[in-house]
Amino acid sequence: MSQHHTPGRVSVITGAGSGIGRAVARLMLAEGYRVVLAGRREEPLLETAAGHRQALAVPCDVTVAADVERLFAAALGQWERVDVLFNNAGVSGPAASVDEIELADWDATVAVNLTGSLLCAAAAVRAMKLQNPQGGRIINNGSIAAHSPRPRTVAYTVTKHAITGLTKSIELDGRGFGITCGQIDIGNAATDLLDQIGGGSGAMQADGSRRAEPTFPVQEAARAVLLMAGMPASANVGSLVVTAAGMPFIGRG
């Protein structure tokens, strides 16, 4: 790279080994970002990176504070700043209603979806406050479940509602430091996680029936994240909802 060329902004993406995280990572690399890929297993991260010289794979369990610290130390060690965090790591949690869920399953879902997002945001904010120029942007991956949940998804639904509170708190607490935060809520992007939730066999409806629902390409969800990430520091997309056209979300089915 020639010295007069301005290097790309640095983005940290959790859950980068599959699904939306993988699609966002690949799009950001294609658009000139320097991307730190985080996930529990190294092999899928390396598959996402596909040998790209601006990609750094860092195995990380977001529920472990020391892992998260190591992740951001690696990002700063490699590129000396963090401009964007895409807080994307998440699990679907158990299929269980509020009276059925096992405490261990609840705790495990909260640990990844909520506490993991907090730990990564905390590390990102600390880095963004100290770097020069100061500031950065955090994008939290919520879900359509933050607006309109499915039956028997209590742990997933509650964590995704909580992400909205985390998003607003980061936005307020970061205001004096040039740190902005927004939330993207994605409905029925075609991923393996959607198949787990029931996209394949038909998704559970509020009346207890199952029906096949429309999906849309995960690359389009990635483009929406890129739109949020690429806003100038003077603007912030606080909330973005992108769904498969015609999915039973608005109205009554």
CA distance 236 to 183: 10
| 33: annotated active-site residue | no
CA distance 98 to 109: 14
Catalytic residue among 72, 86, 106, 156: 156
Residue 176: is it exposed, middle or buried by C-beta count within 10 angstroms (0-12/13-18/19+)? Answer: exposed
Strand, coil or helix: 172: helix
Asked if 25 and 1 count as a contact pair (C-beta separation under 8 A), the reply is no
What are residue 227's phi and psi, to 5 degrees? -60, -45
What are residue 23's phi and psi, to 5 degrees? -65, -40
Catalytic positions: 156
